[in-house]
Every structure is written in C-alpha cells, then in structure tokens.
Amino acid sequence: MLSAIVRFIVVGIVTFFGLLTVTFFIGRVVPIDPVLAIVGDRASASAVAAARQQYGLDLPLWQQYGLYLKKALTGDFGTSVLSSNPVMQDILRVFPATLELATAGTLIGLVFGIPLGVLAAVKRDSLIDQVVRVIGLIGYSIPIFWLGLMGLLIFYAKLDWVSGPGRIDIAYEYTFTPITGLFLFDAAIQGEWGAFADIFSHIVLPASLLGYFSMAYISRMTRSFMLNELAQEYITAARAKGLSETRIIWGHALRNAAVPLVTVIALSYATLLEGSVLTETIFAWPGIGMYLTNSLQNADMNAVLGGTIVIGAVFIGLNLFADLLYRLLDPRTLS
C-alpha cells in the first residue's frame, strides 16, 4: 500500500510538471506580447524594454522556464492586467463560486444518476431502460449552452420560477457578508435565511443543468457496472439462497459496483470544476470559468495561464485521489 501511495505521488508530481511545461510554451507561442498587454501598445520603446527586463522576458528561453517554474511553484502567476491584483488572489476570490456550483451539480447527478443507472440495469432492455438511456444520450448530445439559454427563457423569463443570472440579488449583495465564499454555507451559518433563499434561487438552474450533464455520465456508467455485477456467479448464489432482490441489488451488486463508481464520480466532479466555463458565462456566474473567459477576451495571459494551472492541478489531484481510493477499496489492484 505504501509503495502504491509513493507511486501515485510521483505520478502526480511528474504530471504537474508536465502541465507547467505545456502552459509555459503556450504562453510563448500565442501571438500576444505579455509586455504590451501590461504597458500598452502606445508605450515607448524604452518602457517596453524596461518591462521586458523586469519580467525576465529578455532572458534565454531555458532561463525563462526556470524562472517560470520557481514562481509557479510558489503560487506566483504574475499580476492580472484587468484587475491589477495578483492572479492567485483573483483565483482564490472566484474559485469558491465554481466549487459551490460544481458541488451542487455533482450532488444532483449522484442523487438521480445512481438510482436511474441501477434501475436501467435491473430492467435491462425494457421500456424503462430505453428511457434512461435516451435521457443520458440527450445529456451528452445537446450543447449545455443551448440548454442554459432555454432554461433561462422558460424558467426565468416565462415562468419566473427561479432567479436570473448572477449569484445573489443586489438587495442582499451589500447586507450579506461572505465568509468562506460558499454563499449557501455562509448564509446558513449566519442565519441569513432570506439571503439563503435568494442564493438558492440563483444556483438551482445552473446547478441543475450541470447536474443533468453529470447524471447522464453517472447513470450510464452505473448501468454498465451493475450489468457486469448482476452477471457474476455470486449473484446467482445469492438468489439460490433465497435472498430478496432488493438486498441482492442494493446490498451486494451495487456495493461491489461502487468501487469503480468512485472513480467515475471523482472524474465527473473534476469535469464540472474545469468545464463549467460556458455555464458560468451564460448565467453570469462569477466563478473561475467566467474569470478565464474575460481574461482570454482581454488578452490577460497571466490570468489565463494561472487559472489553467490551478484547474489542471485540481483535476490531477482528484484523478489521483480517485485512483488511490479505488485501489484502497479493492486491495486486489495493489498487487
């Protein structure tokens, strides 16, 4: 087990350094001069040269790479052109919004995806199975930005069931005090139930859309894992012993299917964390996806590369954690 943990740590470190290397060269090959983005295209030649020297961009490429690694490993991704703040400070400010949205979406995906996947496997090739598979196919096929626009049109503009874009209504924006950046949690611990209801009304639609996307993936994989388990001999033996179908399905088959399902859930969560750019843009959700979009549109490469590294690190960490947890839950994979 210790050997497996060490291997995972080594793989994580190597993968992260690969991510840093890729982002470094992306920052050098894009047709955007980071110096001009900082000093402006009307700056004098001497000002441009001084800025280039200040940021080490006049050094040989290998020295720039070493300087880049040193700064990145200490969390220094430079200064954002848009906000004039350190990029890491901006990321720490916007990341909780993405974390809250992705967590809510993943919970919705779990609550509906696992039961639907189990039901589809138990009722294989029936009408229920076909309906569940079609629901999952729609979740994979329809672009999420179109679903977001339709959701706003129907549930906000027409029916007025939910609040519109944004994270909190302006009526609460200056009276509600964020603590952790997770607005639902902050409102609950402060007893601000009016603000809590308003925040929930804002998050329910984008979280449901992400949850639908997550549910499509989780239900499909749950069905696949359950079909594999239901075909095993221990299921036949359990039925021969007279165990109820409920106990066989939920107590035995799903319990064994849950081991590989852990990896699926972790990857789904990581995907929502790094793939909610379109959703955040449509719903004006002030998370890291919207932050990256605005930074990219304004050629703020420090912010773009810094955000990419943070998201990549989160994805790598969740992936390695899921793989390690999978091996711990199934000791046979440690050999």
- 125 occurs within a structural domain: yes
pLDDT surpassing 80 at residue 324: no
Beta bridge partners of 79: 86
139, part of any domain: yes
33-64 per-position pLDDT tens digit: 666 666 666 767 777 677 777 666 667 778 88
Residue 107, pLDDT above cutoff 90: yes
Q: Return the minimum-mean-pLDDT range out of 122-126, 153-157, 289-293, 318-322.
A: 318-322
Q: What is the mean pLDDT of residues 8-28?
A: 83
Long-range interactions of 322-326: CB distance < 8 A, separation 24+ = 322/262, 322/263, 322/265, 322/266, 322/267, 323/8, 323/263, 324/4, 324/5, 324/8, 325/262, 325/263, 325/266, 326/259, 326/260, 326/262, 326/263
Beta bridge partners of 86: 79
Would you state the structure tokens that stand for residue 130, as one six-digit string?
Answer: 């076909």
Residue 104, pLDDT > 90, answer yes
Contact between 98 and 290 (Cβ < 8 Å): no
Q: What is the phi/psi pair of residue 79, to 5°? A: -110, 135
What is the predicted pLDDT for the residue at 54? 67
Of 208, 203, 207, 205, give the one whose Cα is nearest residue 186.
Answer: 203
Q: In terms of residues, how long is the chain?
A: 335
Residue 276 burial (10 A CB sphere; 0-12, 13-18, 19+): buried
% of the chain at pLDDT higher than 70: 90
* Residue position matching structure tokens 């949205």: 101
Domain contains 170: yes
- Residue 294, pLDDT score: 86
Q: What is the pLDDT of residue 205?
A: 93
Residue 26 in any domain: the answer is: no
Q: What is the CA angle 326-330-232, rounded to 5? A: 115
Structure tokens at 254: 């799903």
Q: Mean per-residue pLDDT for 4-33?
A: 79
pLDDT given for residue 31 in this prediction: 65
Residue 290 has pLDDT above 80, yes or no: yes
User: For 257-288, how does the pLDDT look when each residue is reduced to its tens digit (9 = 90+)?
Assistant: 888 888 888 888 888 887 677 888 889 899 88
Reading the block at residue 132, the tokens are 């569940």
User: What are residue 300's phi and psi, to 5 degrees?
Assistant: -90, 80
User: Other CB atoms closer than 10 Å to residue 284's CB: what's the count?
Assistant: 13
Mean predicted confidence (pLDDT) in 151-159 = 90
What pLDDT, on a 0 to 100 scale, did the predictor assign at position 267?
Answer: 84
Residue 107 falls inside a structural domain: yes
Q: What is the dihedral of CA 66, 69, 73, 78, to 10 degrees?
A: 110
Provide the pLDDT confidence category of residue 105 given band limits of 50, 70 and 90: very high
pLDDT at residue 335 tops 60: no
Q: What is the pLDDT of residue 118?
A: 92
CATH number of the domain within which 152 lies: 1.10.3720.10
Q: Write down the pTM of the prediction.
A: 0.84
* Averaged pLDDT score across all residues of the chain: 84
Quick one: DSSP state of residue 160?
A: -
Question: What does the pLDDT read at residue 76?
Answer: 84
Give the integer Cα–Cα distance in Å for 273 and 199: 19
Inside any domain, residue 11: no
> Which pLDDT value is given to residue 32?
66
User: Does residue 334 surpass a pLDDT of 60?
Assistant: no
- Angle between helices 87-122 and 254-274 in degrees, nearest 10: 150
pLDDT surpasses 70 at 330? no
Taking residues 311-325, report their average pLDDT: 82
Q: Is residue 27 part of a domain?
A: no
- List, for residues 169-207, the tens digit of each pLDDT value: 888 877 788 888 899 999 999 888 889 999 999 999 999
Question: How many independent structural domains does the chain possess?
Answer: 1
Once rounded to an integer, what is the mean pLDDT over residues 143-147? 84
Distances, alpha carbon 123 to alpha carbons 120, 128, 135, 140, 212, in Å: 5, 7, 15, 22, 21
Is residue 101 a part of any domain in this protein?
Answer: yes
Domain that holds residue 246: 94-299+315-334
